[in-house]
Every structure is written in C-alpha cells, then in structure tokens.
Structure 1
Amino acid sequence: MTGDTGIDPTAPPSGSGCAECDAAGGWWFHLRRCATCGHVGCCDSSPGQHATGHYTSTGHPLVQSFEPGEEWYWDYAANELYESGPALAPPTGHPADQPAPGPAGRVPADWAGALRR
C-alpha cells in the first residue's frame, strides 16, 4: 500500500456480521471490513457479495479480512492482496464463537453448493 490509502484506523466495524445479510436474514461464508468506514460485508464466495457491492457503491477500495486471526487486505481498485497493513480499531474480527459460514442458525445445510466461485 502506498500513497493516500483512505484508511481510517479509528472507524469501528459496523457490526459482527455482514450488514446487508443481517438485514435480510441471510448468511455469509467469510467477512470483509472496509478500511475507510468500517462497513462489514460478506466475501465474493458468499451469495450476496456485499463487500464488493460496498466498494462499487462507495469507491472505498480497501478491505481487511474480518476473520479472527487474519490481517490481510484486499485492494479492489488495484486487484492486489497485501499480507498486512495498518492496525484498525478493534474488534479486528467477528466473535471467535461465530462460525464460518455464519451466522449460526441461518446457514443452509447445502451451503457449500451455494458458494460463488
């Protein structure tokens, strides 16, 4: 990452799960957190692909994994992975007891077949 990244290390995450999936009663595979505003959205393998949708609608290019123990960033604009970057405001991942896929109780039994590739 170089130059003005637009990262706001003080922006807290919007919640412990994908904001749009939670609102619609949906589910996700993995979570991504916008490094500009803290919006938490689901990954591109998830049915909703809400993290990419957030980038498309806002232009906020950088997301960090919101999976516990993962620190990597993805830059949508550059189509590039960064193994690490600036520390963001806690929490840095969804609750450790929240399963992936998640959330518990909303993931269909045939979830693997619903993943986007």
Structure 2
Amino acid sequence: MTDVAAIDPSVPPSGAGCVDCDALGGWWFHLRRCATCGRVACCDSSPGQHATAHFKATGHPVVRSFEPGEEWFWDYSTDELYESGPGLAPPTHHPADQPVPGPAGRVPEDWARSLHR
C-alpha cells in the first residue's frame, strides 16, 4: 500500500449499496468501499461512477472492492492495484443475496448497454 495513512480499518461501510445511486434511484454494476470513511459507491463501469467521484470530491485515495470473495484495494492517487491490504471493519462485502448488477428492481433490462468500458 502506498498510502496506508488513508486507511481507517475501524470505520464500517456506509451500507449495502452505493449511497449516491440509492439517493438517485439508480443502479450499479460493482461496488467499492472507501478505505478512509467507509462510503460505499459504484465502480467506474457503473453509470454513476460514484467511487471515482467520491475520490475527486474528498481526496480519499484508497478503495477496496465491496464484492464477495474480493479483497483487493485500488489507489486512485497512484493508479495502482493491491491484491490485499489491512483488514477492514465488517461487513467486508455487500450481502451475498444482493444481485449483480443491483439492486434488484432498479436494473434496466438492457443494463449492459449502459456500462462504461
């Protein structure tokens, strides 16, 4: 990790889904968790790209995947991937029964056309 000072392992995630998508009635593809403040936001493939927007607005550089079975971190300030890092407060991923993309009931049938590549 290049910026371990940006990681607060005691902060729990903000919820089970992207805070911004939930507020706007949107949907996400995959979720990321800010390692500084715990805010859960959607990935860059998602229509909202809220995790990157959170980094740009706050300067919090490190996120961790919030997907089941994934433990990697991404550092926006260096554009580097880390396969692992310090343990974070639970839960470490969204609920296993939450669909991807999600959340259930808000994902359009043609969702794949809306992904950013």
| TM-score class, shorter | over 0.9
Counterpart in the other structure of 2:107: 107
Q: Secondary structure at the match of 1:64?
A: strand
Give me the identity figure in percent: 75
Q: Secondary structure at the match of 1:33?
A: strand
> Is 1:62 matched up with 2:65?
no
Q: How big is each residue's C-alpha offset from its partner over 1:50-88, in whole Å with a ceiling of 9 and x where there is no partner?
A: 000000000000000000110000000000000000000
Counterpart in the other structure of 2:73: 73
| Deviation >2 Å, runs of 4+ | 2-5
Q: Structure 1 residue 2: deviation in Å?
A: 3.7
Unaligned segments of structure 1, at least 5 residues? none
Counterpart in the other structure of 2:95: 95
Unaligned segments of structure 2, at least 5 residues? none
Give the RMSD, CA atoms, in angstroms. 0.8
Amino acid at match of 2:91: P
Number of matched pairs: 117
TM-score when scaled to structure 1?
Answer: 0.98
